Amino acid sequence: MEDLPRPIPNPPVRFMDRLRAFMRTKRLAYRTEDSYCRWIRDFIRYHGMQRPEGLTTRHIDQWLSHLVCDRSVSVSTQKVALNAVVFLYRQFLQLDMDTLQFQRALKGRRLPEVFSHEEATKVLSLMTGPALLAASLMYGSGLRVMEAARLRVRDLDFERRSLIVRESKGDKWRNTLLPESLIGSLKSQVDLAIALHRRDCEEGFGAIYVPGRQSVTNREPGTEWLFLFPAPDRALCPITRVVRRHHMREQQIRRAVRRAIRQAGIPKRASCHTFRHSFATNLLMAGTSIRNIQELLGHSDVNTTMIYTHVVGKHKDNVISPLDRSNK
């Protein structure tokens, strides 16, 4: 249950508990909350467990430079660490910060790894069960592994051939493609989830987890709220202290994908996210506009999506190598 917020004492007394409680009033995604807390804890430990109120901008500069010079973190990792301490000082502690002057990570541009269609289908052919269906949605709908694992029955619209991704990264919602070739398998998966729920109800464990405010309005949620990929076992919910069935863990899908990539003998640095990159590049090669791909992927900035033009070489359309020109 890695996406369920850990319980906080009421009232919170310890520093990190008070910080977490404040973050929840700001409605940060739980992954953001967890990431920020890890970096803030790292910052405090680096400075010998001193209270953050007694540290200055110079201490922040030292820590951020240490992450680059001694731990060789990437640009994006350093940026998350920076965002965490800025949140700590400006929002939680409400303290002013002077201009930061730390050693910044060097930004080298890397193109994402992608599968060819043949490679993607080969990997999928070596998978079975719910992990296969989840990976197929990552490739066929452009989902992140987190989004695939959290899908609910209500997110599937078979008539319109569309799939709704709710409360994803950055708390954004979007509508994306539902591959027609997966409809039969998805309907079977829905039937399996409902059958498993009926058995849980018979055994007295039929409660369904509904997020946020909807948990108040939906006192007895219907089967449309069931997770499409239920966990193999029931577990104690850390929020409500109720034993129920959550969704399958992302790690289960990741392990299955890693194993299939290894068995397929694909020498790329590939992972679950490679399916999402491959979804985008295949659409681009088929002539789909970059704006449409941006919406299907849920990118806030089209520049993020533009990286795929470099992967497929769209930026080189109608450009001929000088060597080839001289041979004509």
Q: Are residues 62 and 115 in the same domain?
A: no
Write a three-state SS string for 239-277.
Answer: CCCCEECCECCHHHHHHHHHHHHHHHCCCCCCCHHHHHH
CATH number at residue 234: 1.10.443.10
Q: Strands of 174-177's sheet, edge to edge?
A: 156-157, 162-165, 174-177
CATH number at residue 29: 1.10.150.130
Q: Are residues 186 and 327 in the same domain?
A: yes
Residue 318 lies in a domain: yes
Domains of the chain: total: 2
Q: Are residues 165 and 205 in the same domain?
A: yes
Q: Are residues 29 and 136 in the same domain?
A: no
Residue 129 near residue 200, CB atoms below 8 Å: no
**Can you tell me the mean pLDDT for 124-147?**
96
Q: Are residues 310 and 211 in the same domain?
A: yes
Residue 9: the pLDDT is: 82
Q: Are residues 163 and 255 in the same domain?
A: yes
The amino acid at residue 191 is: D
Tens of pLDDT, residue by residue over 181-212, are 999 999 999 999 999 999 999 998 888 888 76
Q: Are residues 130 and 182 in the same domain?
A: yes
pTM over 0.85: no
Tens of pLDDT, residue by residue over 149-172, are 999 999 999 999 999 998 777 678
The residue range of the domain holding 29 is: 15-92
Enzyme catalytic residues: 144, 169, 273, 276, 299, 308
Cα of 250 vs its chain's centroid, Å: 10
Tens of pLDDT, residue by residue over 232-262, are 998 887 666 788 889 999 999 999 999 999 9
* Those residues with Cβ within 8 angstroms of residue 230's Cβ, 6 or more apart along the chain or in another chain: 193, 196, 197, 245, 246, 247, 248
